[in-house]
Structure 1
Amino acid sequence: MSKTASYAGDVDVLTAWKALSQDPEAVLVDVRTHAEWSYVGIPVLDQPDRDVLLVEWLSYPDMSVHGDFAERLLTELENRKVAKDSPIYFLCRSGARSQHAAIEMTPKWDGPCYNVASGFEGDLDDTLHRSNCNGWKHAGLPWRQF
C-alpha cells in the first residue's frame, strides 16, 4: 500500500477480531491511557505469543495528544519486527481516539490502518453506561485486567 493511500476506515470489533485471528501479521494497537488499561482492562489476542501494543494517544490527566505518538508507535513496531505492510487495527474506549490515531498513522505506514469503531467499551447505552450495547467487551472477546 502506498504511503499516500487514504485511511482504511472503520471496522466493527468482530471484523477486527477475525482479521487479527486469521492474519498473524495483523497488529492491534490500544491507544487508551495507562489508567484505562489499569482499571478497565486490555484486549487479549487468541495466540499466546502475540501481544496488543499499548501506546497512548492522549495522556491522563490533562488528556493532551502525544505529539510523538507516530514515532513511539513506529519504534514499537520496528522493535517487534512487524512487516511494514502489515495491517494495523487501532482501538480505544469507543472509537474516537483510535480513529484519529489511525488517520495519523496512515501516511507513515505502508499497510492499511483501521479503526475499531465501537472500541473496547463501546457506546453509551440508554442509562449512560458502556459495555452494554457494543464494543470488544460486549462482544465477549477476550480481555484481562492489566
Structure 2
Amino acid sequence: MNETGTYAGDVTPQAAWDALKGSPKACLVDVRTQPEWSFVGLPDLGSLGKKVLLASWQVYPNMAVDPDFAAKVKAQLGAGAGPVYFLCRSGARSRAAAIAMTEAGLGPCYNVSGGFEGDKDAQSHRGHSNGWKAGGLPWVQD
C-alpha cells in the first residue's frame, strides 16, 4: 500500500507494461471517456495476448462519476484477476479509480502515473514528457 493506505500506489507506464507482460492475471483498465478512446487512441496489448478493459470513471459529457463504475469493472475482470492497473489521460482519474476499486475489495490496484498522454509541456501540449505514448509503448488509434 502507499503511504495513505488507500491503494497499492503509482507506477510508471513502463512498470505497468512490464507487469502486464510478466503476469497472466495482470489487467489494464482505461478509465477515460469514449471520445478519448476514439480520438486520442488506446494502449495496445495485442502483443501480450491481452485487451485493455474500457470503463469510464466519469461519464461524458457531464463528467459525473459513474455510480456503477465498480460493478462494471468487476464484471469485466471476472474472478481471479489482478493486479489491476488503472490508466487515464494524465493519472488523476485513474488514481481515483484505483482508490475506489481498492475500497470495493479489488486489488492490488495501481495508478499508472502520467497516464496515456502525460503532463502538459511548456506549450500546454500533452504527449511529449511522460505517459504511455511518450514512453514509446504500443498504442492504436481509430
CA RMSD of aligned residues (A): 1.6
- Secondary structure in 2 aligned to 1:75? helix
The answer to whether the Cα contact below 8 Å between 1:44 and 1:51 also exists between their aligned partners in 2 is yes
- 1:50 and 1:57 mapped to 2: Cα distance? 21
Residues 1:99 and 2:95 aligned together: yes
The answer to whether the Cα contact below 8 Å between 1:7 and 1:106 also exists between their aligned partners in 2 is yes
Residues 1:128 and 2:124 aligned together: yes
The answer to whether the Cα contact below 8 Å between 1:91 and 1:115 also exists between their aligned partners in 2 is yes
Q: Map residues 43-122 of structure 1 onto 2, 5 A cutoff.
A: 43-47=43-47, 49-78=49-78, 82-84=79-81, 86-122=82-118
The answer to whether the Cα contact below 8 Å between 2:21 and 2:48 also exists between their aligned partners in 1 is no
- 2:70 and 2:100 mapped to 1: Cα distance? 7
- 1:11 and 1:135 mapped to 2: Cα distance? 11
- Following superposition, the deviation at residue 122 of structure 1 comes to 0.2
Taking structure 1 as the reference length, what is the TM-score of the superposition?
0.89
Of 30-39 and 57-66, deviating more is 57-66
For structure 2, the 5+ residue unaligned runs are none
Q: Which residue of 2 aligns with 1:22?
A: 22
- Following superposition, the deviation at residue 46 of structure 1 comes to 4.7
For structure 1, the 5+ residue unaligned runs are none
- 2:40 and 2:106 mapped to 1: Cα distance? 32
Of 87-96 and 12-21, deviating more is 12-21
Q: Which residue of 2 aligns with 1:37?
A: 37
- Following superposition, the deviation at residue 77 of structure 1 comes to 1.2
Q: Which residue of 2 aligns with 1:138?
A: 134
Question: Number of residue pairs matched?
Answer: 139
- Secondary structure in 2 aligned to 1:47? helix
- 1:139 and 1:92 mapped to 2: Cα distance? 15
Q: List, as ranges, runs of 4+ consecutive aligned residues in structure 1 with deviation greater than 4 Å.
A: none
Letter paired with 2:32 = R
Q: Deviations over 1:98-130 (max 9, x none)?
A: 000000000323430000010000000011000
Percentage of matched positions with identical amino acids: 54
